[in-house]
Amino acid sequence: MIIKTTNIHEGVCYLLSFQFRYFVLINCGANVDLLETLQPEEDSIFFICDTHRPVDVVNVYNDTQVKLMIKQDDDLGVPSYDDIFRDEEEEGGDDSGNESDGGSEPSGKRRRYDEGEVERRIERQRATREWEARRREILFDYEQYEYHGTSAAMVIFELAWVLTKDTKDMLWWAIIGLTDQWVHDKITHMKYVTDIATLQRHVSRHNHRNEDEDNSLSIDCMRISFEYDLRLALYQHWSLFESICNSSYTSCNFKLWSMHGQKKLQEFLADMGLPLKQVKQKFNSMDMSVKENLREVIEESSNKYGMKDIRIQTFGVHFGFKNRFLASDVVHAAAALLESTEKDESPGDNFIKALDCLSRSNLERLHGGIDLAKKKLMAIQQTVASCICTNLILSQGPFLYCYLLEGTPDVKLFSKPMALTLLCKYLLKAFVRSTRNKRCKLLPLIIAAPMDVEKRTVIVLGIPPESETSDKKNFFGRAFEKAAESTSSRTLHDHFDTSIIELKMEDRTKFLDALITLLS
């Protein structure tokens, strides 16, 4: 059953109407108080496997109806129980004795108060106010930043492994889940490398286990391998030239939106000694002599041009003898299919197509997704170049701001959250590389794009400042909530990431003014 909604309340309430007892929530539900939001029956039990952080404190401390599936080494930083919860007896004790024996004295006599009791009551009330103020402060510190933990796909794979139910397909899906976090810049480099090492051990175990199997050389076999490959998007399914031009890492380093950057790219290709004819044709059609040492040649020249980390730890897969994909290829393909705007198909249809491309029995769908992903990356690159060249990124004091106008090419694509996220991160990197203003290099970026012309709504997204040592924590979720509340702006906060909201076009100005005041 597929429900067309991103709203957890709406989706789960629909399922509750069927009187199901057990619910498994994947990548949603952890950061909201489920029991308060849904008001389920007392025998309903929720299993939550969600990468979104922080986890709501009620979900953490409710061990009867809410079961969290989280790796033990994931540091949630949850406040202690006594700091945020008080027993009912303790709360009720503040007003005890207020009215005791109130009717026993004669009506004409004034009641005599015990001065010591009054002082104790005042002291209890003061202690309660201090505790509540401290609680608000603790919860604010805990909830103010949004970030991501271990990939849900990886958690579920490791659960299957503990139960000895893991398969090579499940391992590949876990790899794709982790790679998605890296492609969409959700986790730190250290977290990525640590999880890669964990999955590498599982890959070695599965490869060793299948070495002696009869089907290890069959046409249907699946071989996963650890790779130290290039940070060039879809280059094995594209031309090397187009991949370099449309990958954010190389495009931002060369500043390809400028004439100087284009000239620098030509110098880079000449330094590698690769014929332009070879570089501009499909990777599969390149001469074997050129492809043989291609990674080493590119790495050597990249070091001269300041791109010292052009290669990244990742995984590749072979399906049979012919089809080879990197994990990032599948991530780009699945994301493009999930947010496809080419046909007027429902989100449910797009979801099924994205799911299909993860199956090795439906490689045609995967290749179709890769073609869509190429168009998406080209649209992002062209939009970034346009925004930089026309100075569409403005400094609003505490943050940078960019608004995509309705007539912008491919603007419909950027009404989708993942596409807009990629554009926003690419745009901020490009701006940091191109601006001479040192203060602007340290600012976060908010981007807005038309979402529904008929309803006159825009999608608004905020990302933290660009930094090599960034912890990937995003503070815009809480900031958006407070700005909307203080201005009575008409907003919709029902995306899985709290840093993405929908906003009425008419409220955009007052909403931004409130954000400037709040963050100044």
pLDDT, tens only, 350-363: 999 999 999 988 89
> How long a stretch of residues is the chain?
520
- Cβ contact 311:229 at 8 Å: yes
What pLDDT does 196 receive? Answer: 96
Q: Where are the beta strands (DSSP E) in 38-148?
A: 45-49, 52-53, 66-68, 147-148
Residues 194 and 278 in one domain: yes
Comparison of pLDDT for 343 and 185, the residue scoring more: 185
**Boundary of a domain, candidates 37, 67, 82:** 82
What pLDDT does 500 receive? Answer: 94
pLDDT, tens only, 158-188: 999 999 999 999 999 999 999 999 999 999 9
Which whole number is the average pLDDT over 281-308?
Answer: 88
Query: Would you say residue 100 has pLDDT above 60?
Result: no
Tell me, yes or no, whether 299 lies in a domain: yes
Query: Would you say residue 101 has pLDDT above 70?
Result: no
Query: What is the overall mean pLDDT for the chain?
Result: 87
Which whole number is the average pLDDT over 286-311?
Answer: 89
**Boundary of a domain, candidates 347, 378, 409:** 378
What pLDDT does 335 receive? Answer: 96
Residues 286 and 397 in one domain: no
**Boundary of a domain, candidates 378, 408, 439:** 378
Which of 266, 324, 273, 277 lies closest to 298 in space, CA to CA? 273
SS3 of 99, please?
Answer: coil
Nearest-angstrom CA–CA distance, 60 and 50? 13
**Which residues are registered as beta bridge partners of 460?**
448, 501
Residues 320 and 398 in one domain: no
Residues 344 and 481 in one domain: no
Tell me, yes or no, whether 440 lies in a domain: yes
Residues 420 and 504 in one domain: yes
Query: Would you say residue 4 has pLDDT above 60?
Result: no
Which whole number is the average pLDDT over 278-286?
Answer: 88
User: 499: domain range?
Assistant: 391-519
- Computed over its alpha carbons, how large is the radius of gyration of the chain? 27
Query: Would you say residue 287 has pLDDT above 50?
Result: yes
Query: Would you say residue 99 has pLDDT above 50?
Result: no
Residues 511 and 402 in one domain: yes
Tell me, yes or no, whether 147 lies in a domain: no
Stated as kind and residue range, the H or E segment containing 448 is strand 445-452
What pLDDT does 321 receive? Answer: 74
Residues 189 and 326 in one domain: yes
- Cβ contact 503:466 at 8 Å: no
What share of the chain in percent tops pLDDT 70? 89
Query: Would you say residue 212 has pLDDT above 80?
Result: no
Query: Would you say residue 11 has pLDDT above 80?
Result: no
Q: What is the 3-state secondary structure (H, E, C) of 450-478?
A: EEECCCCEEEEEEECCCCCCCCCCECHHH
What pLDDT does 366 receive? Answer: 94
Which whole number is the average pLDDT over 379-385?
Answer: 95
Tell me, yes or no, whether 90 lies in a domain: no
Residues 238 and 318 in one domain: yes
Q: What is the pTM of this model?
A: 0.89
Nearest-angstrom CA–CA distance, 312 and 163? 32
Which whole number is the average pLDDT over 79-85?
Answer: 88
pLDDT, tens only, 216-260: 555 568 889 999 999 999 999 999 999 999 999 999 999 999 999
Comparison of pLDDT for 342 and 60, the residue scoring more: 60
Which whole number is the average pLDDT over 484-512?
Answer: 91
CATH number of the CATH domain containing 424: 3.10.310.40
Residues 422 and 507 in one domain: yes
- What is the count of structural domains for the chain? 3
Query: Would you say residue 349 has pLDDT above 60?
Result: yes
Residues 196 and 279 in one domain: yes
Residues 345 and 230 in one domain: yes
Residues 396 and 373 in one domain: no
Give me the phi and psi of 460, to 5 degrees please: -120, 135
Query: Would you say residue 516 has pLDDT above 50?
Result: yes
